[in-house]
Amino acid sequence: MSQQPTEFSMPTPSCYTDPERSGLGAGDLFAGITEHLFFTLGKLATNATPHDLYMALSYAVRDRLMTRFLAGKEALANQPSKTVAYLSAEFLIGPQLGNNLVMLGIEKEAAEAISRFNNSDIAKILDVEEEPGLGNGGLGRLAACYMESLASLEVPAVGYGIRYEFGIFDQLIRDGWQVEITDKWLKGGWPWELTHPDQAVFVGFGGRTEGYTNEKGEYRARWIPAEHAIGIPHDVPVLGYKVNTCDRLRLWRATASESFDFYSFNIGDYYGAVEEKVGSETLSKVLYPNDGTDEGRRLRLKQQHFFVSCSLQDMLRNLDKRGIPATEFPQHWAVQLNDTHPAIAVAELMRLLLDDKNLEWDVAWDITSRSLAYTNHTLLPEALEKWGLHLFASLLPRHLELIYEINRRFLQQVRLKHPGDDSILRKLSIIDEDGHKAVRMAHLATVGAHHVNGVARLHSDLVKSSLMPEFAALWPEKFTNVTNGVTPRRWMALCNPPLRKLLNDAIGDGWLHNLDELRQLERYQHDDGFLQHWEQTKLGVKRDLAAYIHSHTGVLVDPASLFDVQVKRIHEYKRQHLNALQVIAQYLRIKNGQGDGIAPRTVLFGGKAAPGYYMAKLIIRFINGIAETVNSDPDMDGRLRVVFLPDYNVKLGERVYPASDLSEQISTAGKEASGTGNMKFAMNGALTIGTLDGANVEIREQVGTENFFLFGRTTPEIEELRHQGYRPWEILETLPELQQVLHVIEQGHFSNGDTELFRPLVDNLRGQDPFFLFADFASYMDSQNQVSQAWSNRQHWNRMSLLNTARMGYFSSDRSIKEYCEHIWKATPFPITISAAADKEINS
């Protein structure tokens, strides 16, 4: 992917070489902070608060990003290169200040500059930053990692999404239950965005379509929307690691086309005067509105169309501005659909090309199908979006017409391959004809995309064999795999400074550019002194996490115990309740005098349950019930602690991953698409206990089977159990330890004597067990016994830990992005060198 740097030789603005704007020394940053305190924030340095210093330092760092951002923008305008457009409903980018300091390589300089303000501590300043509420889970975090890697690999890219005013929710735990409160992440201001109201676009909804004849005598259709919203772009710079490439997120905020109705106001209808404004701005109000109601589903579909339409219009406008015809769209834009949320792009791009650009159908379809690619992130049927035809027609009538025509032409192809086979037509049709008729968004994306990829080798195989076998048979060349990856800059260098120092001292810092260089660590696997240093490094970050746990939950944990961690979205298929059952089993063994050989453990859980997902919320209550009982039992002192970490997010993850000893990746085989938390744990030296699911399969291959605690049935074995008619009550009869566990739960031992509280959970497992906990329980307990045995030999454990880190190079998001660029996007690097005069200053 190498390419010669592009010399950016326009006349250099003075701010490019102004030390207060572009200098990277501590003195330059101090001057920049002081300037922004005074001129931007209206504060004197003598009475600046930590929040003031955070804002001023952020603005000073943003100045350095702008030099690179504008230089790259100008270079691309003068010498166009294919740009990746990553469309995603989520970008879980995490705090930006610390990450940008790493990208610029100025962490020490920033710390020194901040210390000049009343001996302020950079760690406390960094902790001020709110978590941006722009994403929820792995999908959004992956998008953030990919954007960072695109910039680090110097590939031009724009991440398109929504600028949510409120995140999904902040999580409190009250009486053991999850309580959702509003995530007001913007309340203190956010210095990382640039608003461009001059580049706003209109987006329509509802209304009707009508036919007409154009000046050439050709029949055409036009859409006459009943309402409009305006999308205002907010750009967030995304800098690559120690390069001049600065890509961007372009996030759309919705506003009304007419914000205030004077007539309504003057006749006393004060709500009516602002009704359009309120309705339009709801589009970018909150991430993932509850789709359990008709209005919630309507809003979610409107959100998806809103950001997709804004983004595609923006891309076409960019071509217009450069004098490039729309027919060349595929040469300049590679559009990636991150799951089904942006799948409406297939119909919207066709609409824009047909109705706005007046292209013929075949030309428009060729452009669309050569521009769009689709990533599938799930095998769960309920996560594959479908929209009822009535809802779709009421919101997007023109798009539904186009989808009908796309489907008609597509099914003609299918008929040629499968004449007389109506069953395959029903399976492949974009329109689901069974029950309530609906538009299948995954089908639409698959028909319209030139590539469809899964996100782990096993997942991609299951997409072809189980989820979309008929599509894969029709277009085998369209289906491929790109195993997920995560950025080592945030998930090792930023979040684990002690490990970073240890690695740099041992093998140099080249691993930050090329994670495969971690393999050099293998030469230390038999060095007892180095392994001892490795353990002490881990113990240091565990002490930090223990202090955080005590200050936020009141629970005292022993940093020397095994930190056994499961942090991720709470869902039955992820099986947090399987982990909880084994915790009870360990607890009962200790209580019954059978605890010899059990490693002292601190079991940590964290994650959010969807507000309408009762069983997931009950699992949280279950875990907290166990924690309350275990932590108050003197018999467990020094043996077992259980903690649920509230409001798990990127900031908390940056504390948890470095301090973890054991990573619980225990989803039912065949259910997890990939996982990325599993990668972050292993990169930081945690050992994995897991099933052969998602990327676990490839992680185990890379780190070595002897350095991975495997348990559970495989995907084919799970399918065979399901096919035979799974009867969990019969398996329970063979598991006396599990029977005892369920008995104490039913007695109310973990619910203050309430025998009904957890009955739905137990009854569900006994009667259905949809995710095969009982089937895997015995194997899981055997594997946990192996964990305790391995922990007892600390040098052996340290060696396994080191080898997990050493062999994780494959799971860098840089590798994933290279594969996307080479095999799907056909995008190449576009390095930027900012003119000789500025380059000396900027890259010094």
- Cβ distance 113 to 101 under 8 Å? no
Closest among 246, 126, 175 to 842, alpha carbons compared: 246
- Cβ distance 598 to 561 under 8 Å? no
Is 417 a known active-site residue? no
- DSSP character for 822? I
Q: pLDDT value at position 270?
A: 44
Catalytic residue among 6, 34, 368, 676: 676
- DSSP character for 727? -
- DSSP character for 824? I
Q: Rounded CA gap, 655 and 491, in Å?
A: 10
Strands annotated E in 585-707: 601-606, 640-645, 662-665, 687-690
Give pLDDT < 50 ranges for the chain: 7-11, 260, 262, 270-271, 273-274, 836-844
Ramachandran assignment for 105, one of left (phi > 0), alpha (psi -120 to 50 degrees), beta (any other): left
Name the packing angle between helices 97-104 and 50-78 (round to 10°). Answer: 50
Q: Rounded CA gap, 539 and 529, in Å?
A: 15
Is 574 a known active-site residue? yes
Name the packing angle between helices 736-746 and 576-591 (round to 10°). Answer: 90
Q: Look-up: residue for tokens 């590798």?
A: 815
Q: Rounded CA gap, 147 and 131, in Å?
A: 18
- Cβ distance 333 to 85 under 8 Å? yes
Classify each residue of 407-439 as buried b or exposed e, where b means 16 or more C-beta atoms within 10 Å of its C-beta: beebbeebeeebeeeeebbeebbbbbeeeeebb
pTM comes to 0.95
- Cβ distance 29 to 120 under 8 Å? no
- C-alpha angle with apex 664: 659 to 667, nearest 5 degrees? 150
Q: pLDDT value at position 288?
A: 77
Is 377 a known active-site residue? yes
Say if residue 213 is exposed, middle or buried (CB neighbours under 10 Å; 0-12, 13-18, 19+). exposed
Q: Rounded CA gap, 29 and 120, in Å?
A: 14
Catalytic residue among 62, 300, 305, 377: 377
Q: pLDDT value at position 279?
A: 63
Q: pLDDT value at position 276?
A: 55
> Which pairing describes strands 562-567 and 479-481: parallel, antiparallel, or unpaired?
unpaired
Q: Rounded CA gap, 584 and 590, in Å?
A: 10
- Cβ distance 117 to 48 under 8 Å? yes
Token pair for 208: 């009707």
Q: How far is CA 90 from CA 143, 163, 307, 652, in A?
A: 7, 9, 11, 19
- Cβ distance 29 to 110 under 8 Å? yes
Q: pLDDT value at position 412?
A: 96
Catalytic residue among 253, 574, 589, 818: 574
Q: Rounded CA gap, 346 and 331, in Å?
A: 17
Catalytic residue among 141, 568, 571, 608: 568
Is 187 a known active-site residue? no
Residues 6+ apart with CB under 8 A from 352: 312, 313, 316
Q: Rounded CA gap, 273 and 255, in Å?
A: 15
Q: Rounded CA gap, 164 and 250, in Å?
A: 12
Residue 594 DSSP SS3:
coil
Catalytic residue among 542, 680, 749, 815: 680
Q: Which residues pair with 85 in a beta bridge?
A: 158, 335
Q: Rounded CA gap, 813 and 155, in Å?
A: 13
Closest among 785, 779, 769, 501 to 662, alpha carbons compared: 785
Q: Rounded CA gap, 297 and 392, in Å?
A: 10
Query: Would you list the DSSP string of 313-340?
Result: HHHHHHHHHTT--GGGHHHHEEEEEESS
Please write down the HEC assignment for all residues of 614-633: HHHHHHHHHHHHHHHHHHCC
Name the packing angle between helices 794-806 and 528-553 (round to 10°). Answer: 90
Q: Rounded CA gap, 466 and 480, in Å?
A: 15
| pLDDT tens digits along 373-432 | 999 999 887 778 999 999 999 999 999 999 999 999 999 999 999 999 999 999 999 999
Is 464 a known active-site residue? no
Q: Which helix (H) or strand (E) holds 480?
A: strand 479-481
Strands annotated E in 201-275: 201-205, 208-213, 219-224, 227-239, 246-256
- Cβ distance 557 to 512 under 8 Å? no
Q: Rounded CA gap, 559 and 542, in Å?
A: 5
Say if residue 268 is exposed, middle or buried (CB neighbours under 10 Å; 0-12, 13-18, 19+). exposed
Q: pLDDT value at position 281?
A: 81
Residue 489 DSSP SS3:
helix
- C-alpha angle with apex 460: 459 to 464, nearest 5 degrees? 115
Q: pLDDT value at position 15?
A: 64
Token pair for 20: 């207060």
Is 569 a known active-site residue? yes
- Cβ distance 728 to 768 under 8 Å? yes
Q: pLDDT value at position 836?
A: 44
Residues 6+ apart with CB under 8 A from 545: 559, 563, 655, 656, 658, 659
**Length of the chain (residues):** 844
Residue 430 DSSP SS3:
coil
